[in-house]
Amino acid sequence: MRVIALEEHFTAPGLPTHGPGRKPEIVARLTDLGEDRLADMDAAGIDVQVLSPSSPGAHLMGPDEAVATCRATNDLLARTVAERPDRFAGFALLPMPAPEAAAEELDRCVTQLGFKGAMIHGHVQGRFLDADEFSPVLACAESLGVPIYLHPTPPTPAVFDAYFGGLPDQVAGVLAGAAWGWHAETGLHSLRLVVNGVFDRFPGLKIVIGHMGENIPFSLARADSVLSPAATHLKRRVAEYFHENFWITTSAYFTLPPFQCALSVFGIDRLLFSVDYPFAQNADGRRFLDAVPLSPADREKLAHGNAEALLGL
């Protein structure tokens, strides 16, 4: 069975390497795009990684620095994919502090470098993607027919202080990140895209969210029941946008209950396998994939079929 993993990270010169979970061994794995990474994939039976720079990418940079850093990073990724096109594909890193340049870079990465979409690391210095300034990027992704993978990023200082202040530093950092805050904020970001009419303006836009749906599957019925009557400006109910414009990956969520929830709410055709390497382990992801109670045909969809269809792999 072919296995494709979609949220698999690396880092490159000029990108930040600090942050929650960035122990030296993690940084070493992030910087490795060669034989050690391939050996880890082989040991777990991962055939293809769709590579993307880890959060926060270039989001915290000034516009000029972001443009130069993203172009260099994407060129490095393109060389990596060209060396092993059977094992790697790429999601572009975009200079979101410069939205027009970000749209141009997405076009370059897809049409010239062969990338399969882009990963955007959440809010851009406190501004969410439903803001008008980011419309060029969304329009470009829609016109190219490629997805945007919406990934978490650290909260702004004001949000961190309000929600995670007064806690021990290490606990606050983890709670603001992978333990809860990242997922809650990315779920909220996804809801903002819907209720601010992004998918009415760009009906063909494709969004991928990780971590078994960033809490959306559990709360979608409730959100739909109370938001849809309030959002009278929308053409459809809130839940309909999620069912038509969103895909979900399993990244770093390797227990059955959240998978069962995502499956029952979104259906197997919207679910994609991911590991979140190196923050999660390939072997853990593969064990989960092999053990999850699915028919053979549905397991094939989760492992590779849905990714092949969405990304043209």
Strands (E), 172-307: 207-209, 246-249, 271-272
Q: What burial class does residue 85 get, using C-beta atoms within 10 Å of its C-beta: 0-12 exposed, 13-18 middle, 19+ buried?
A: exposed
pLDDT at 83 over 80: yes
Mean pLDDT of 41-52: 98
CA 194/CA 273 separation, integer angstroms: 24
In the chain, the number of structural domains is 1
Q: Among all chains, which residue has been given the structure tokens 């999620």?
A: 242
Tokens of 233: 């400006």
pLDDT at 18 over 70: no
Residues recorded for the chain = 313
pLDDT score recorded for residue 21: 56
**CATH number where 249 lies:** 3.20.20.140
Mean pLDDT of 10-32: 83
Q: Is 276 a catalytic residue?
A: yes
Boundaries of domain holding 138: 4-311
Which residues are paired to 164 by β-bridges?
A: none
* pTM confidence score: 0.97
CA 94/CA 74 separation, integer angstroms: 9
CA 241/CA 282 separation, integer angstroms: 31
Prior bond to 278 cis, omega within 30? Answer: yes
pLDDT band at 57 (very low <50, low <70, confident <90, very high): confident
Out of 40, 224, 276, 298, the active site residue is 276
pLDDT at 14 over 90: no
Which residues are paired to 93 by β-bridges?
A: 119
Which residues are paired to 209 by β-bridges?
A: 150, 248
